[in-house]
Amino acid sequence: MRLGSQAGLCERRAGQELGIRIPRPVGHGPSRFIPEKEILQVGNEDAQMHTLFADSFAALGRLDNVTLVMVFHPQYLESFLKTQHYLLQMDGPLPLHYRHYIGIMAAARHQCSYLVNLHVNDFLHVGGDPKWLNGLENAPQKLRNLGELNKILAHRPWLLTKEHIEQLLKTEEHSWSLAELIHAVVLLTHYHSLASFTFGCGISPEIHCDGGHTFRPPSVSNYCICDIANGNHGADEMQISPTGSISTAESLCEVEVLMEKMKQLQECRDEEEASQEEMATRFEKEKRESMFVYFSEEEELAPTRDVSRHFEDTSYGYKDFSRHGMHVPTFRVQDYSWEDHGYSLVNRLYPDVGQLLDEKFHIAYNLTYHTMAMHKDVDTSMLRRAIWNYIHCMFGIRYDDYDYGEINQLLDRSFKVYIKTVVCTPEKTTKRMYDSFWRQFKQSEKVHVNLLLIEARMQAELLYALRAITRYMT
C-alpha cells in the first residue's frame, strides 16, 4: 500500500472513531483538464515562483487553483495578481464590499460558482451584509442598477449605448459617479474574462468550497458534480488521452502543417499586400463565418438557484450580433482604440488602473518562449495575432491593417469552437473540447491560449464600455 493511501485510511479510521466526517478532495489537482503531474507542485517552486505564491497568499489569504494554473506563466501571473489586488484592495472609488459583490454579479452571469463562492467569502470577510447574498433584490438599488450593464457586457457588448451610461449616471437617486462607474466596469470585465479562464482551464474548486470535497471513500464512479455540469460525463471520458484517437504521428504532422502555413503566409505578406477593399471584405467574411462556428450540441443547463439569485433576466445570453436580421456597425479600431482612447480615459478617472491593464494586455499578447510543441526558435507572433484578432472579430471589432484571410489558414475548426465557447459561453466548455485542439502542444501552451482569450475578451468588452462612456461625456 502507498504511503498516501495508508495516511488516508488512518484518517478515515480516526474520523470514524471520533464520529467526525473527514472531507476528501473530489478532483486530482487544480484542474480537471490538465494532469496533476504537469502542474507545478507547491514546495517544488523556484525563488521567483515562491515570491509569487507568497504575494498571492498575502493578498488573498489563500493560494487558489487559478494561481496554481496561471503559474505556468509567471510573468503574466505577477501582472494579473498586481492588477487584481489593486482592483479589490487598494484605494479606489468603490467600498471593498461593493467590489466583491460586483465580482459575484459578474461571475454569476456565466454560472461560475467557483468565483462566486470565493467572493461570497471575501464579501463577508470585509463586512458585507449577508442579506445581500440571498439574492440581488436584497442588495442596494445602486448595485441592482448595474444589472443591465453586467448583462450586456457579459453577452452582447456591441449593444451598449451612451443611453445605458446616462441611466446609471443621471438617476436622481442611487446614481453612480464617473470614477465609480469606471471601477465597476473594470471589475465586471475582469470577472467575466476570469470566468472564461476558470472554465477554459477546467479549474477545480478548492477542498473547502462547494463541489471541492466529498465525505465518501474513493471509488472509480466518484467524480465531481461540476464535471457533469461541464459536459464531462464519466470516468471513461476522463481517461481520454490528450491526443484522442489520433496517433502521435498525425498530431506531430499537425504541428508541422501549422508551421508550414505560417511560413507561406509570411512569404505572401512579403510578396504582395492586399488592398484595403479586399481586407474589409475578408473581415466581413470572417465575421459571418464566425456565426457558423457552433458550440457543443449538449442540452443547455439552467443556472442553479445558488448562482442565478445574483443576477436578473436569466434567459438573456450570448447571441451572434448579425443573427435575426440585426446589423451592428463594425467597430473600427482606428476610430476608438485601447492605446489611443481607452487607456487614457481609465487612467484619468481611476489612476494607475489604465497602466496596470495596459501592462497585462501587453504581456499576454507578446508572451512567447519561441517554441511550438517540440520546436524551438519559432516566431509565434503571427499565430498570437490571429487568435487575438479572431476574438475581436467575433465582437465586431476590426483592425484595418490586418488580413483576416490568415485566420482560416491558422485556426482550424476544433480550435475555433474552443475559442468561441470559452469566450462567449464559457460555462459550456468541456474537457473534450480542450483535448481536441493543439493535441501535441504542451499544457503550458494551451494555458497561454487561455490567457490570450481572456485578455482579448476583456479588452473587447472594455472598448465597447469606454466608447459608450466617451460618447456620453461628449
Q: Which residue has the higher pLDDT, 241 or 8?
A: 8
Please say if the pLDDT value at position 25 is more than 90. no
CA distance 143 to 95: 12
> For all residues of the chain together, what is the average pLDDT?
83
Angle between helices 443-473 and 178-200 (to 10 degrees): 160
234 to 87, 229, 297, 401, 474: CA distances (angstroms): 39, 11, 18, 46, 55
**Within a 10 A sphere around the Cβ of 429, how many other Cβ atoms?**
25
pTM: 0.83
Mean pLDDT of 220-239: 36
Between 295 and 146, where is the model more confident?
146
User: Which range, 54-58, 171-175, 215-219, is most confident?
Assistant: 171-175
Active-site residue, 112 included? yes
- Mean pLDDT check: name the lowest of 8-17, 161-170, 299-308, 426-435: 8-17
When pLDDT is cut at 50, 70 and 90, the band that residue 180 belongs to is very high
> In the CATH scheme, what is the homologous superfamily, with its name and number, of domain 24-209?
AhpD-like (1.20.1290.10)
Give me the mean pLDDT over the 421-439 stretch. 94
Residue 65 neighbours by CB under 8 Å, 6+ apart = 30, 31, 203, 204, 205, 206
The residue type of 224 is C
Reduced to 3 states (helix: H, G, I; strand: E, B; else coil), residue 89 is: helix
Local confidence band at 240 (pLDDT 50, 70, 90 cut-offs): very low
The more confident residue out of 18 and 423 is: 423
Higher-pLDDT residue of 88, 320: 88
- Report the pLDDT averaged over residues 214-237: 39
**Which pLDDT belongs to residue 43?**
67
* Beta strands 24-25; 397-398: pairing state: unpaired
What mean pLDDT is predicted for residues 285-300? 64
Catalytic option among 10, 112, 226, 424: 112
Rounded Cα distance between 195 and 33, Å, is 15
184 — pLDDT class (breaks 50, 70, 90): very high
Q: What is the pLDDT of residue 48?
A: 79
Domain boundaries, the chain: 24-209, 253-295+317-473
Residue recorded with cell 484619468: 348
Model confidence over 368-398: pLDDT tens digits?
999 999 999 999 999 999 999 999 999 999 9
Best CA proximity match to 77, nearest among 96, 59, 56, 100: 56
> Residue 89: CB partners within 8 Å, gap ≥ 6?
59, 96
| 356 Cβ contact partners less than 8 Å away, ≥ 6 residues apart | 79, 82, 83, 86
Question: What is the arithmetic mean of pLDDT over 275-290?
Answer: 78
Cα distance between residue 29 and residue 35, in whole Å: 8
Q: For residue 229, is pLDDT > 50?
A: no
Query: From start to end of 396-465, where are the E strands?
Result: 397-398
